[in-house]
Structure 1
Amino acid sequence: MTPDRQFEKSEIEKLVGEPITDFSSSSGSNKGDNVAGTLLALKVTTAAGKELNLVYKSFPSDNPEQRQYVVQFGIFRTETCMYEKVFPRLKELVALRKAAKNIELPTVKYISGFNDDQNDYVCLEDMRPEGYIMQDKFQSLTSAEVTLIMKEMAKFHALTYFMLRYDGERIFEEDDRVSKLKYNAFTIENPMMIEMGTRMFYGYMENTVTLLEDRDKSLAEHVKNFVGKHSRHSFHALTRFNSKRTDKESFPCIIHGDLWTNNVLFKYESSGGRDAPTQLKFIDFQLSRRGNIFEDLGYFFWTSTTPQFRKLHLDQMLSIYTKSFEDTMDQLDYPKPEGFSRGYVIDKFYQGMLGSYTFMPFALSLQMGDLEAVLEDKDEKVTNGASTNGEKQKEEAQSGPPAIDFDKMMEANNAMMLLRMKKSPRALQRLEDLTREAVERKLLL
């Protein structure tokens, strides 16, 4: 679906569930920003006179490879499940606890969704006309912004922890859609997914050596020595350190799974006043799953704050998180997890910092790498080889698609990520800064 896709009136009426008199659509994001799909902004006037501002997310329109990735990881199915199953259940549980009646989920209003792995979409309220904005992904969030995120993240984790304790694990067995939050690509022991992750994350760390050699040879040598001490499989075990922690150690909950700057919308007391955020909304629950608090915490701090911020404020922010979690459990009138305390959260967070760092070469290439440069390079290759590709497509139409060459697929994936980083000076600077911090913290030993 392209940004200039033309909707039929009946389609919009189906989305909003009522007759409409007028609507318009426009691109909902900057080109290259939305990796997992096409984003459209819709303005709708209903027959009853309501003005609706909506966001319509659908499969990537011009990238078949990305579309395959989206289907494989079931990210649209995950997001509709969160809006249709998890959030309504959380609201029901809050309503049952009198002291918790004022707790509100930091989520946007869900309008509708659909899944068949062909025409999937999610339609949500667009909060931007209400004054909510997204901050620059290349800049660190402020202390006030992170403070608010810690409070709301802890609230969300506490509510989902309570849900798993109150309803029990049977919720994953009684509904096929919810079961995917437990048995997903990040947790299931699927041989193909394990092999893909093993090669992918190891390859991205090798990319890091290549990228840093022209910027800081000493830093590149640290990473090279670190990588050299690991096989692909032992390195992959590091990337799974936080997700493999036991429930007793890490307190099971439903995590966001991709919590970073671009998945948070803020509202402020005044425009430009970043030191006074009043509300926030978490968006893009496409990688949500049963996990533990340290997965979200580690990923967030490495992707959305700077080394200087972490040096000055990390322990303070973890303290704010802990108190908000405890306060939410008190409001729910339910015991907090055994052993849960400020010191425990801080200790366990630091133990998982290496595991969180090993995700960064992958995360940064997706979040801050230059996708447009990759697409332009690909378009050029397609143009130069147009006649050859045309003959190849005719052959495939007659004989069927060729078997997937796993080695070539992984090689192409690593090359694409390397190019994205090379073409983005700010992404390279962030990778260098994070890696230097990892060395200074003695993580890369």
Structure 2
Amino acid sequence: MEEQKCRNIESILTEKHLKTIIHRLAGFLGDHFKIVVHLQNAGVTRKLHLFAKSMPLINKPKADFIADYNFFRRENLVYKLFENMCVTDSDNWCTKAYIHTDTLLVLPDLSILGYKTLPTDQFYDLKHVLIAVKSLAQFHAKYACYEANQQKSIYEDHREVLKDAAFMDAPWLRAAARLSCSLLREFSTETIDEDTLTNLFLKACDDLTVSKESINVILHRDLWTNNILFRHEGDEPKGAVLVDFQCVRYGPPAFDLMILLYLTTTKQFRESHEKEVFNHYYTVFTQYLDDTMKGKLKDYNYGRWDFFNWCERARMFAMMEAMAIFPFVLMDPSLAQKTFDDPDTFTKHVEEDRCKPVLDYARESSFYRERMVEVSVEFVDRYHLKRL
């Protein structure tokens, strides 16, 4: 029945159809659609609610950027991996894809099942962090067990796809450093020159690599608010699903945890609750390991305190990523689409200089401004001023 449903969907949903079905949603790394398919069988009609993501249909510079950085190829690879890992409905940290190719992804519309994201202008509280961290730890544990039993990592065969061309010495990253310097200069008392900050960014990028001193897993690497969907009972979060695997990497799992914390919580929250969150992750992660993988933890000397040390090593990359992507993901969605989805200015704003539109909006929005300045000041204080 499930196979037949997938064949029906695939025969219906071509890229040509996606140009006209239902309404288009904003999305930085693709065109997003919500689709309702009416299925008929033996005179009975039912609705199938879908979420689809395709390569941009209009903005060619953006499509070229997405293709060059392998965003769809990486997500396609992850959903193939989920099939090999025998991900089931009991693995409620993710959802399976009906269709996944290098240009198209079709998933169930999880909003119909009661899942939703929190607003981008709302920080996670402890309850939401712990639920999200549980799903992340289950994801990492599932892959770790799969790799341990396969005795081969996905990285061996897919190194080029998993390489993150954005977080290396690339125009996109240099533009991020340029913008961070401008934000600090205008809205804080901290200053740093562009070359120094760029070099710190590059050092942070070098830290996220495959390590012989740690277990390595598939990393989501993009755990901001829109990529974690929660199911609530009343006001209580009861489950979290991870979505959007376009930015996956391969490396030590602590990097994902620190990225989640820096993209969804405040400095004050982290100072109050980090150790509790670290403990929660490690407890859930080890709980979901099989005997084969538990043995490997001993081989790596990967105990609880070793994991805590890895979290500290991952902090610099997580902070740098927040500085780099906050200008995009925290901007008002309609303004972000207007700013970063215009074919005429896409390359300029993404790979050259995005200072003007970001600074203009930062002057208007206190939340936008304060969120970016907070992490930028913390980064400069930790990794520049304290080393002078």
TM-score, structure 2 length as denominator?
A: 0.82
Q: 1:86 aligns with which of 81, 84, 87?
A: 81
Give the letter aligned to residue 212 of structure 2. D
Residue equivalent to 2:161: 184
**Structure 1's 74 and 163: CA in aligned 2 closer, same or farther, altered over 3 A?**
same
1:178-202 C-alpha deviation (Å, 9 max, x unpaired) = x33x323636xxxxx5997355434
2:68 pairs with 1:72:
yes
Distance 1:412 1:246, change over 3 A: closer
Moved more, 301-310 or 74-83: 74-83
Q: C-alpha separation between the residues in 2 aligned to 1:381 and 1:292?
A: 37
> Which residue number in structure 1 is paired with residue 3 of structure 2?
none
Shift of the alpha carbon at 1:301? 1.2
Alignment deviations for residues 113-164 of structure 1 (CA, whole Å, 9 cap, x no partner):
333xxxx211110010111111112221121111011111111111112222
**Distance in 1 separating the partners of 2:295 and 2:78:** 25
SS in 2 for 1:62: coil
Q: What residue number does 2:131 align with? A: 148
Does 2:338 align with 1:367? no
Distance 1:374 1:18 in 2: 31
The reply to whether residue 212 of structure 1 matches residue 204 of structure 2 is: no
Q: Aligned Cα RMSD in Å?
A: 3.4
Instruction: Give the equivalent residue in structure 1 for 2:203.
Output: 238
Aligned residue for 1:399? none
User: Which residue of 1 is the match for residue 212 of structure 2?
Assistant: 247
Residues 113 and 196 of structure 1: CA distance in aligned 2, closer, same or farther (over 3 Å): same
Determine the structure 2 residue equivalent to 1:414.
352
Q: 1:342 to 1:208 in 2, by over 3 A?
A: same
Q: Which residue of 1 is the match for residue 277 of structure 2? A: 317
Task: Tell me if structure 2 keeps the 8 A contact 1:73–1:185.
Answer: no
Distance 1:240 1:88 in 2: 30
Any idea what SS the aligned residue of 1:285 has?
coil
Name which of 34, 57, 60 aligns with 1:41.
34
Q: 1:358 aligns with which of 320, 328, 344?
A: 320
Q: How does 1:283-298 map to 2 (within 5 A)?
A: 283-298=243-258
Distance in 1, matches of 2:67 and 2:322, equals 23
- Corresponding residue pairs, total: 368
Which of 433-442 and 301-310 deviates more? 433-442
- Deviation digits for residues 277-332 of structure 1 (CA, Å, limit 9, x no counterpart): 11121111112232221221222111111111111111100110000111011577
Is the alpha carbon distance of 1:410 and 1:129 closer, same or farther for their aligned partners in structure 2, counting shifts above 3 Å?
A: closer
What secondary structure, in the 3-state scheme, does the structure 2 residue paired with 1:36 have? coil
SS in 2 for 1:314: helix
Partner of 1:264: 228
Q: Give the drift of 1:89.
A: 2.0
User: What is residue 162 of structure 1 aligned with on the other side?
Assistant: 145
* Cα distance in structure 2, aligned partners of 1:298 and 1:292: 11
The 3 A distance-change label for structure 1 pair 322 and 28 is farther
Matching residue within 110, 118, 140 for 2:97 = 110
Match of 1:389 in 2: none
- Give 3-state SS (helix, strand or coil) of 2:289's partner: helix
Structure showing greater relative contact order (alpha-carbon pairs closer than 8 Å, 6 or more residues apart): 2
One-letter amino acid of the counterpart of residue 81, structure 2 = V
Q: 1:125 to 1:417 in 2, by over 3 A?
A: farther
Offset at 1:378? 8.7
Distance in 2 between the 1:379 and 1:440 partners?
Answer: 34
Could you tell me how far 1:336 is from its partner in structure 2? Answer: 5.0
State the identity %: 19
Q: State the alpha-carbon separation in 2 of the partners of residues 103 and 304 from structure 1.
A: 26
- Computing the radius of gyration from Cα coordinates, the structure with the larger value is 1
Q: Deviations over 1:334-378 (max 9, x none)?
A: 425232222222222113312322222321122123575576579
**Which position in structure 2 is the counterpart of 1:124?**
107
Question: What per-residue deviation string (whole Å, max 9, x for no partner) do you get for residues 86-137 of structure 1?
Answer: 1122227x9xxxxxxx95241123111333xxxx211110010111111112
Secondary structure, aligned partner of 2:331? coil
What's the offset of the Cα at 1:380?
A: 9.9
Match of 1:434 among 375, 379, 384: 375
Gaps of 5+ in 2: 1-5
Pair 1:304-2:267 in alignment: no
Relative to structure 1, the CA distance from residue 80 to residue 63 in structure 2 (aligned partners, 3 Å threshold; closer, same or farther) is same
Unpaired runs of at least 5, structure 1: 1-11, 95-101, 174-178, 188-192, 384-408
Contact kept? 1:56, 1:123, Cα under 8 Å: yes
SS in 1 for 2:179: helix
How far the C-alpha of 1:64 sits from its partner, in A, is 1.7
- Displacement of 1:170: 6.4
